[in-house]
Amino acid sequence: MRILYTTDLHGDKDKYWHVFEQAKTKKVDAVVNGGDMLTLEDDLHQTQRDFIRNFLERYFGEYEKAGIFHLGFLGNDDLKIHDECFDTVCTKYPHAVNLAQKSFTLENYEFIGMNWVTDYPFRLKDRCRKDRKDYIFQRQLGSGLLSNERGFQQIPNWFSLASTLPTIEDELNALPKPKDSSHAVYVIHMPPARVCLDVCWSGERVGSEAIYSFIERMQPMLSLHGHIHESYNRGGIWKATIGKTISLQPGQAKTGTVTYAIIDLEHRTFERIEERMAES
Percent of the chain scoring above 70 in pLDDT = 100
Give the integer Cα–Cα distance in Å for 29 and 71.
11
Return the closest-CA partner of residue 95 out of 29, 34, 49.
29
* Confidence band, pLDDT 50/70/90 cuts, at residue 278: confident
Residue 144 predicted with pLDDT over 80: yes
Strands 2-6 and 257-264: antiparallel
Task: Read off the pLDDT of residues 101-141 as tens digits, 9 standing for 90 and up.
Answer: 999 999 999 999 999 999 999 999 999 999 999 999 999 99
- The CA distance from 219 to 214, in Å, is 8
Task: Give the residue numbers spanning the domain of 255.
Answer: 2-276
d(CA 41, CA 29): 32
Q: What is the number of structural domains in the chain? A: 1
pLDDT tens-digit map of 184-236:
999 999 999 999 999 999 999 999 999 999 999 999 999 999 999 999 999 99
CATH number, domain containing residue 151: 3.60.21.10
- Say if residue 274's pLDDT is above 90: yes
Between CA 186 and CA 172 the distance in angstroms is: 10
Phi first, then psi, for residue 78 (nearest 5°) are -100, 120
- Rounded-to-integer distance, Cα 105 and Cα 258, Å: 27
The residues pairing with 151 across neighbouring beta strands, listed in sequence order, are 148
Strands 117-118 and 128-129: parallel
Q: Residues 84, 42: contact at Cβ < 8 Å?
A: no
- Residue 24 φ then ψ, to 5°: -70, -45
Report how far apart, in Å, the C-alpha atoms of 216 and of each of 32, 34, 242 are: 22, 20, 6
Beta strands 109-114 and 103-106: pairing type? antiparallel
pLDDT of residue 280: 57
Residue 177 identity: K
